[in-house]
Structure 1
Amino acid sequence: MKCLCSGEHGRRAAMADFSAGDCSSQHIEEAESSLRDGDCLNFEEARALLGRMEYNQGNFEAALHVFEGIDVPALIPKMILAISTAAQDQKHRAGDMNSVFPLSMRAVSLLFEAIFLKAKSLELLGRFTEAAQACGTLLGILESVYPRGLPSNFSLECKLQDTLSRAVELLPELWKVSGFEQEGISSYRRALLFNWDLHAETVTRMQKNFAIFLLHGGVSANPPALYVQTDVSYTPRNNLEEAILLLMILLRKTEWDPSIFDHLVFALSVCGGLKALAGLLEELQPGVVPREVRNYFLALCYYGEGEHLVALNILKGTLSPGEDPVCLKSLLLASKICGDLSSNAEEGSSFARRAIAELGTGSESTAGLANLLLGVCLSTCSMASSSDSSRLMLQRESLAAVERADRKVMDDPTIVYQLSLENAVQRKLEAALYNAKRLVKIEAGSSLKSWVLLGRILSAKKQFFDAVEVVDAALNETAIREQAELLKLKARILAAHGKPKSAVDTYRLLLAIVQGKQGESERRIEAEVWYDLANVYARFSQWNDAETCLSKLENLKSISALIWHARGQVLEAKGLKEEALVAYRNGLETDQSHVPSLISTCVMLRKLGNRSIFLAKGLLGDALRLDSTNHAAWFNLGFLQSSTEAAAECFQAAVLLEESAPVEPFR
């Protein structure tokens, strides 16, 4: 008995099966027409043709009914033998050209398409797992012959190659939507690591989809097996590394695709690889990435690494008159960087104004951001201004810009925070408090920075009880390892409220969190705690405890000006004025911009009596230039005035500022 039916037998069997079903006479006529040219089509091949017609007509259930009639398990050995025989024939063209195949490659191609369309029908009917299994069966046939992919000297029939390409691309997507993510990852790797003679566009599309899935799929992928590493020795250790590798390959070989770059920026940002991204950008050939885009992302990389001036210089190259002065993103980033650099704040306000001018009636959110950046830059300029009138003007403009931003983008936490901060710095405490409470409500109490600002504002209003309650509420919402800033604020509020014992107890809790930690923030807070405790003990003449705190502070070997100032405070409390003056001067030699040392040096010069008034005035002038709202500086400046009127103005300013002074600076 021959394994193949005659053409007439196959046609009649297929038509009889369909006539019993729901297939229309028109479809049967189309099938007959398709089969007239085939003298050796068997029953399965006839079903494959008829199923294709149903699928193309959109009758997916009918197509699935037809395809399920094909005995695929029985045909798999014949298909494997046909493919391997065809490969041998391609390899030995000079051999016997009259070899008898169990199936022709045309029949194999037809059956391959039937299995693929069955998978597509199952997918469209929502049966994703079955669809993936059908698709896997198709690829398993070729993998049985070629476990590592097609040989380089072997080519498939055109229709068969097209079906293979579509199946290779479909399989991982089916596993993903079925919920079998690990199988999807394995399918992606087999498709990309083995040679299936896929079109370049298909490979690119799969690499991109795989990278996105690794980054955002929420699945931890096992590292690929070493045996598949043929050309390189590097094996990615996790999702992130594998995604970065794929995206870097894509970036080098494809035309500019902003989405690929966005995903690569995200991946490298997560793993702290911004320097690597900058290096990649600098290596790219001119024209691969538009110059303004390249410079923008280069600047972002260097800014993220803390190299602000390098980032700013890159952006200036893009924003110079000879380049592209209308690159909005670059203008905003340049303004942001300048806002962080007091020496470049004026230039930053210029960039922000240019961005606002270019926006016109554009996006409200972008306009809000531009106005926010303008407000930040103007605020930074005001802090560096040497003229009172100029400083007040800049503060008014800064507040107006942030208020415009708030009107354009309602309830944006960053804008509301800056609005509250600007009002607080300008001692408009009612507006500051309103916006701080509004901010905590917007963020549902999730931001530590907002709680700290609210506590500082309440302390400035001398509402110490409310301030402690706010800090306690924040502590209840905050993990222990993140409570350091809150505990420091609470201790200072308690000390200002005349509760030194409670303050000392709070400092002890704080020390339990930060002591022994190697982080820069923890070491800074620990130094401030020992400084505060030394002052508390000196105030109550507890000299042994004060000396112990000084010893702890000196052991940290950081913030030298703070150490010298704490030493001077203790010596001054003991009545050792000369020694205290020496300590304060040592602090200034370490840091000439340390405001407490400037003021304390002036106080000692005044108390010693025979020192230069001009030197003392100069020191207080420097202190007020650095912190124009320091009430202690204004108070001591009043003693050095030659006229009663000028002295009264200084004392009045000191009283007003002290009434609204927070227990620690607003910023």
Structure 2
Amino acid sequence: MPSIGMVELRNPMAPDHNKDWVQLYKTLEQNSASDPNAYRQQAAELLDKKDAPRSKLMLERHIHANPDDVDALILLAKTCLQLEGGLEEALVVARKSCNLATTPQLRQAAIQVLAVALGRKARSPTLTGSSKASCRQEAIQALQPEASTSQSSPAAAAAAHYNLSVLHAEAGDASKAADHAKAAMQASAGGASPELHTLSLVLLALLLSARGEVQAALSVLSASHQRSHGSSSSSLPTTSPQCEVLVARVRAQLLHTQGDVAAAMAVLAKVKKQVSAQAGAGEQEAKVWQELAQAFAAQGALADAFFCSDQSQQLLPWAASTHYVLGCVLEAAGRVEEATNAYNTALALDSCHAPSLLRLGTIHRRSGGVSQAAVARDLLTEALRYDPSHAEGWYQLGLACKAMHHRADAEQHLHTAVLLAASSPALPYSSLPLLLA
């Protein structure tokens, strides 16, 4: 739009979005005191429409006048979880709602939100390992009674068991993760939450893949596909695009592990077609394009890889993962300097992007020489601080230490890489979302 200095010349025919906020303010004045239930319902509808900022404005005004409205506090915590940078506020509000809840139902809902917020905080790459473990443990302790009480509804019990299964998996307790995943499936067996049932199956598949039972994991995923799509191949999926893409990514990775690259790419191509036809699924479609770009690059089909990377960039131009994938394709094409620039762009967008740090470290290590190995060691150490379960990262760090003649460190890091490679799931457990009932 043309402008003069800092003054924007508005198009008189363009929609005035400020009118929406004026109307919302009038609604705030009229409805908060007269009908709190209708007011909360309107805020919830805004949240369902992904309009978290306006939902938050409504709820904050209402809570200012009604500070003990636990339903509104719970909804505000959910709203904060949808806002970028809202995690800490969500934790504060969720804790307050837990303290004020006076009925089992309200306390159950408040604890679910608190546990999800704690679980998401535990995934923050900047937290220390002990802080992550502390957040997970608090979430597990809060959820455990809700999963076992007879007062929980089937949906709430299923969500509690599912979230516990993910938290235990991330904490490294595969046995408890499997037990809770099975309990979540039993609680959701009536079909009330097909997405939760499918995600529980995906978690079981990941647990099996971490034990090297690839064929068993694929069989579990086949059950999840039948569950989400029904017996008829023409039936529409009953799970979200995020869930569909997650299932496809895990299946493709397992097929790739078996050496069936063509089948893996066919799975990705199929789910890409499905999600591209669904409104609002651009982010999920971009993820599939990124997977396809890396698969084509690994096979040397560089023209196809660049095409897929371009498609991803059109959908998510400001995502670190987009530029990381471009870097992978450029690196496969032998254009190392351009690949380095792409990885640096990814890090400019997200300074904690471990995959980009890992690739940069690998590039420096391969350059040869002790000075380059030292740079590689620093980059790889930082990458592993954000993602300590990455087997390839430990392997590259071991090689960098070996080039620096640090034999003891090299042996230790390479040993860690071997152990992780033997027990890593097809995708990180953190790929699974934590769900609110």
What TM-score, normalized to structure 2? 0.70
Distance 1:404 1:470, change over 3 A: same
C-alpha displacement at 1:605, in angstroms?
0.6
Q: Is the contact made by 2:114 and 2:139 (CA closer than 8 Å) also made in structure 1?
A: yes
Q: Which residue matches 1:573? A: 332
> Any idea what the Cα deviations from partners look like across 1:538-593, whole Å, max 9, x if unmatched?
22323333333334334445355333322332333344444433332233233322
In structure 1, distance between residues paired with 2:117 and 2:40: 27
- Mapping of residues 352-501 of structure 1, within 5 Å: 352=95, 375-384=115-124, 386-408=127-149, 412-444=157-189, 446-447=194-195, 448-479=198-229, 480-481=236-237, 482=239, 483-501=244-262
Q: Is the CA contact (8 Å cut-off) linking 2:272 and 2:285 kept in structure 1?
A: yes
1:531 to 286, 290, 302: 290
| Larger of the two Rg values belongs to structure | 1
AA paired with 1:502?
A
Q: Taking structure 1 as reference, are residues 551 and 294 closer, same or farther at Cα in structure 2, changes over 3 Å only?
A: closer
Mind listing any 5+ residue stretches in structure 1 that lack a counterpart? 1-246, 310-337
Q: One-letter code of the match for 1:469?
A: S
Report if the CA contact (8 A) 1:488-1:510 is conserved. Answer: no
Change (3 A) 1:278 1:571: closer
What is the letter of the counterpart of residue 164 of structure 2? L
CA distance in 1, matches of 2:42, 2:94: 29
For 1:224-243, what aligned pairs fall within 5 Å after superposition? none
Instruction: Report the residue type matching 1:489 in the other structure.
Output: V
Residue 622 to residue 464, structure 1, CA distance change in 2 (3 Å): same
Q: Distance in 2 between matches of 1:263 and 1:518?
A: 28
Match of 1:300 among 59, 67, 75: 75
- What code does the residue aligned with 1:426 have? A
State the identity as a percent: 23
Q: CA offsets per residue over residues 396-431 of structure 1, 9 Å max, x none?
A: 454444334434466711210111001111222232
Residue matched to 1:633:
393
Give the partner amino acid of 1:645: A
Deviations 1:215-254 (A, max 9, x none): xxxxxxxxxxxxxxxxxxxxxxxxxxxxxxxx999968xx
How far apart are the structure 2 equivalents of 1:283 and 1:432?
40
CA distance in 2, matches of 1:429, 1:290: 46
Alignment of 1:110-509 (within 5 A): 260-266=35-41, 269-270=44-45, 291-293=66-68, 297=72, 300=75, 304=79, 308=83, 341=87, 348=92, 352=95, 375-384=115-124, 386-408=127-149, 412-444=157-189, 446-447=194-195, 448-479=198-229, 480-481=236-237, 482=239, 483-509=244-270
Q: Find the counterpart in structure 1 of residue 413 from structure 2.
A: 650
In structure 2, do the counterparts of structure 1 residues 472 and 616 end up closer, same or farther at CA, with 3 Å as the change threshold?
Answer: same
Q: Mean alpha-carbon deviation: is it higher for 363-372 or for 619-628?
A: 363-372
Give the deviation of 1:537 after TM superposition: 2.4
* Distance change >3 Å, CA 555–CA 407, structure 1 → 2: closer
SS in 1 for 2:426: coil
What is the letter of the counterpart of residue 649 of structure 1? Answer: Q
Separation of aligned partners in 1, 2:59 and 2:287? 42
Instruction: State how far apart, in whole Å, the 2-side matches of 1:591 and 1:602 are.
Output: 16
Q: Is the 8 A contact 2:248 2:268 kept in 1?
A: yes
Tell me the SS of whatever aligns to 1:541: coil
Equivalent residue letter for 1:653: T
CA contact (8 A) 1:367 1:408 kept: no
Q: Distance in 2 between matches of 1:366 and 1:511?
A: 40
Q: Which amino acid aligns with 2:268?
A: Y
For CA contacts below 8 A with separation 6 or more, give which structure has more relative contact order: 2
Give the whole-Å Cα distance in 2 for the aligned partners of 1:279 and 1:426: 36
Q: Counterpart amino acid of 2:165? A: S
Distance 1:282 1:262 in 2: 15
Change (3 A) 1:508 1:351: closer
After the TM superposition, which of the residue ranges 374-383 and 494-503 deviates more from structure 2? 374-383
**Counterpart Cα distance in 2 of 1:374 and 1:304:** 13
Shift of 1:263: 4.5
* Structure 1 counterpart of 2:366: 607
* Per-residue deviation, 1:506: 1.2
Name the CA shift for 1:636/1:417 in 2 (closer, same or farther; >3 Å). same
Kindly provide the CA deviation profile for residues 103-129 of structure 1, in whole angstroms up to 9, marking residues without a partner as x.
xxxxxxxxxxxxxxxxxxxxxxxxxxx
Where does the alignment leave 5 or more consecutive residues of structure 2 unmatched?
A: 1-26, 230-235, 431-437
AA aligned opposite 1:499? D
Change in CA separation of 1:263 and 1:461 when aligned onto 2, cut-off 3 Å: farther
Equivalent pair of 2:327/2:342 in contact (CA under 8 Å): yes
- Determine if contact 2:28/2:61 at 8 Å carries over to the other structure: no
Distance (Å, rounded) in 1 between the aligned partners of 2:143 and 2:81 = 26
What SS does the aligned partner of 2:67 have?
helix
Q: Which residue of structure 2 aligns with residue 515 of structure 1? A: 276
CA contact (8 A) 2:390 2:420 kept: yes
Query: TM-score by structure 1 length?
Result: 0.48
What is the letter of the counterpart of residue 143 of structure 2? V
Partner of 1:622: 382
Distance (whole Å) between structure 2 residues aligned to residue 415 and residue 421 of structure 1 = 10
Indicate if the aligned counterparts of 2:394 and 2:413 stay in contact, CA closer than 8 A.
Answer: yes
How far apart, in 2, do the equivalents of 1:541 and 1:261 lie? 60
Separation in 2 of the partners of 1:559 and 1:461? 36
Give a deviation string over 1:138-172, Cα, whole Å, max 9, x none.
xxxxxxxxxxxxxxxxxxxxxxxxxxxxxxxxxxx
**Equivalence for 2:351:** 592
In structure 2, do the counterparts of structure 1 residues 548 and 499 end up closer, same or farther at CA, with 3 Å as the change threshold? same
Identify if the C-alpha distance between structure 1 residues 290 and 467 changes in structure 2 by more than 3 Å, giving closer, same or farther.
same
Matching residue of 2:7: none
Aligned to 1:663, the other structure's residue is in SS state coil
Kept in 2, the 8 Å contact 1:302–1:308? The answer is: no
Alpha-carbon spacing, 1:606–1:449, altered in 2? closer, same or farther (3 Å) = same
Q: How many residue pairs were aligned?
A: 376
Does the 8 Å CA contact 1:537/1:543 hold for their aligned counterparts?
A: yes
